[in-house]
Amino acid sequence: MAATEIAAAAFGIAYILLAIREHRACWVAGGIGTAIYAVVFLDAGLPMQSLLQLLYVAMSVYGWLAWGRDDRQPKPLSLPLRVHLFALAGVALATAATAPLVARYALAVSPIADSLGAWASLFATWLLARRYIDTWIWWVVIDFGLAALFAGQGLWPTAALYLAYSLLAIAGWQSWRRSRIRAP
């Protein structure tokens, strides 16, 4: 499975680097990488992460369409704090609802972390597809937490990738912030 995991990680790196540059092709790389990761995570006993990867494939289509033909428009936007608080509450509720089910029926090895990472990632991906600069702050936290989860499962290339994602999310936030400042 190591070669499959490494291939998925390579597509993941392409995805994040293209997203930072606001290039529409990020959604193609992301869709391919997440399709591969669906199998990797299922084999690792992380069913919510596996399901999330399948949702990411659909979100990749959505992102591709939402970003349109022009990679540089519209400029990144920001959401009010109340929207983030509402989203955090939604993520917590969804996690509370799914973690016990995943633990009981899907035999997840870490049902709370698996569910929390999945729901938060889904919201952060929506933020990215809608070009909200706040996506990058969400990703710093999510990716750091998922790196720890994946390391605990022995998915070392994926843990390293998600740790790199967390650091690259800082670069993404800085890049998109500069882009927003330069907007006419």
At 76 the pLDDT is: 74
Domain with 46, as residue range(s), is: 2-69+79-182
At 109 the pLDDT is: 82
Evaluate whether residue 74 is within a structural domain: no
SS (H, E, C) 85-146: HHHHHHHHHHHHHHHHHHHHHCCCCCHHHHHHHHHHHHHHHHHHHCCECCHHHHHHHHHHHH
Q: Which residues, other chains included, contact 184 with Cβ-Cβ below 8 Å and sequence gap of 6+?
A: none
> How far is Cα 163 from Cα 140, in angstroms, rounded to an integer?
9
**pLDDT tens digits in sequence order for the chain, 184 residues long:** 588 988 998 999 999 999 998 899 999 999 999 999 999 988 888 888 888 899 999 999 999 998 886 555 567 788 899 999 999 999 999 999 999 998 887 777 889 998 999 999 999 999 988 889 999 999 999 999 999 999 998 888 889 989 999 999 999 999 888 877 765 5
Q: Residue 42 corresponds to which tokens in the numbers above?
A: 């299922």
